[in-house]
Structure 1
Amino acid sequence: MNTATKPSSNCFVWPLRVYYEDTDAAGVVYYANYLRFCERARTEALRELGFEQDRLMRERALGFVVKSVAADYLRPARLDDALRVRSRIERLGGASLTFLQEILREEELLFSSRIIIACIDLTRQHPTSIPSELHSKLKARV
């Protein structure tokens, strides 16, 4: 799935540094941590739009959950690397959205993923519509 996207105004870029806790004994980023990095970038992208996940949970009983992940691990990231997570919305539905997320070291593509996120009513544990004010801000990013 090597989907190296060109940066655009619709991309959210979040910088990060690889710490010791992110690596295995050889100093290579543990594979599951790439997904953690992507999760953090999606959270920060929402925050940039003015939506805090804890407030959505507390005030509206809404949450976002991962429905599906497809990922390609292309090159290893290592201890102390400066990385960027580049996130772009590929598709926006009424209750879900698909992110294309990549992790880069400078311009070298290390990791590529397509992640489907669903909005759920936390009380009923069922899919629900993305709030209209958030949906319109996300739509501007597609």
Structure 2
Amino acid sequence: MSPAFVWPVRAYYEDTDAGGVVFYANYLKYMERARTEWLRHLGISQERLRQEQGVIFAVRAASLEYLRPAVLDDLLHVTARVTDRRRASLVIRHEIWRRYETKTPELLNHGEVKIACLDAGKFAPRPLPDLIVDAMTAGDPEQ
């Protein structure tokens, strides 16, 4: 549905377990940060959305598949791409790649996260604001 946004992150010591392997739950954190940076890239501040339009986002579902481990000091590229848009939700496809200077990138993890758009006061579903829909479709030739 949309082109992938790419956000680079380094696997730091704090991200790893005693064996130097990135702890499994941190992949979800990387994905969350990539979605936030994707929105910023579109010119959308989540805090401003909350304050001015009374909109927040909540994860409704997440599924991940771990293919290979990331380890301490790996340079990772986390992608975020909208694969489905409904009236009050988005499905974001994520991939996490290990980047090398001299080798082909390696896919480590992929998954989908369903994001619900909610009224900040009622925590009830509400339509995606036009601001978001317009920003998402501005550069998407399929729209």
TM-score normalised over the length of structure 2:
0.90
Equivalent runs, 1:54-73 vs 2, <5 Å:
54-73=47-66
SS at match of 1:45: helix
How do residues 47-126 of structure 1 correspond to structure 2 at under 5 angstroms?
47-106=40-99, 107-126=105-124
C-alpha RMSD of the superposition: 1.5
Unaligned stretches of 5+ residues in structure 2: 100-104
Matching residue of 1:136: 134
Counterparts of 1:126 and 1:138, CA distance in 2: 23
Instruction: Provide, for residues 90-130 of structure 1, a one-character-per-residue CA deviation record: whole Å limited to 9, x for no partner.
Output: 01111101011000002210000011001100101101111
Q: How many residues were matched structurally?
A: 135
- Report the alpha carbon displacement of residue 60 of structure 1 after superposing the two structures with TM: 1.8
Give secondary structure in 2 for the equivalent of 1:57.
Answer: helix
Structure 1: stretches of 5+ with no match in the other structure: 1-8
1:139: Cα distance to partner?
A: 3.0
> Percent of aligned pairs with the same residue?
48
Q: Contact between 1:92 and 1:139, CA under 8 Å: does it hold in 2?
A: no
How far, CA to CA, are the matches of 1:35 and 1:112 in structure 2? 10
State the AA in 2 paired with 1:13: V
Letter in 2 for 1:48: H
Q: Secondary structure at the match of 2:108?
A: strand
- Counterpart AA for 2:44: F
In structure 2, what is the equivalent of residue 35 of structure 1?
A: 28
Query: How far apart in 1 are the matches of 2:27 and 2:118?
Result: 24
Is 1:11 matched with 2:4?
Answer: yes
The alignment partner of 1:87 has SS state of strand
In structure 1, C-alpha distance between the alignment counterparts of 2:111 and 2:8, rounded to whole Å: 17
CA distance in 2, matches of 1:88, 1:62: 21
Distance 2:117 2:137 in 1: 15
